[in-house]
Amino acid sequence: MKLLDGIPYPALILAAVLFGLAPFTPEPHAVEKVRMLLSGNLVRPLDIFDLLMHLSPACLLLIKRLSGRRRGKIQDP
């Protein structure tokens, strides 16, 4: 958690947006892979890795937010 606490929120937000939307055209990989997951077509290891890679910054941001809230570092807006 110390490592995650050392990463500033703006950097995580930027990484989550860029990784989540890359490549920007024709369709973001994260959107494509989530569609594949929901349809049951996400079976190749490369596709699973790609989904995890593109969503990892968003997951880290969520973990940081929830752990900060739990420890009382973040106030509700």
Q: Is residue 59 part of a domain?
A: yes
Query: Contact, 26 vs 32, CB < 8 A?
Result: no
Q: What is the mean pLDDT of residues 41-69?
A: 87
Whole-angstrom Cα distance, residue 70 to residue 67? 5
Residue with the bigger pLDDT between 74 and 10: it is 10
pLDDT at residue 6, rounded to an integer: 81
Q: Is residue 29 part of a domain?
A: yes
**pTM, whole model, 2 decimals?**
0.72
Q: Is residue 77 part of a domain?
A: no
Whole-angstrom Cα distance, residue 63 to residue 38? 23
Residue 75 has pLDDT above 60, yes or no: no
CB atoms within 10 A of CB 23: 9
Q: Which phi and psi (to 5°) does residue 55 adopt? A: -100, -5
Mean pLDDT of the chain: 83
Which of 4-8, 17-21, 41-45 shows the lowest per-residue confidence on average (mean pLDDT)? Answer: 4-8
Work out how many domains the chain is built from and give that number. 1
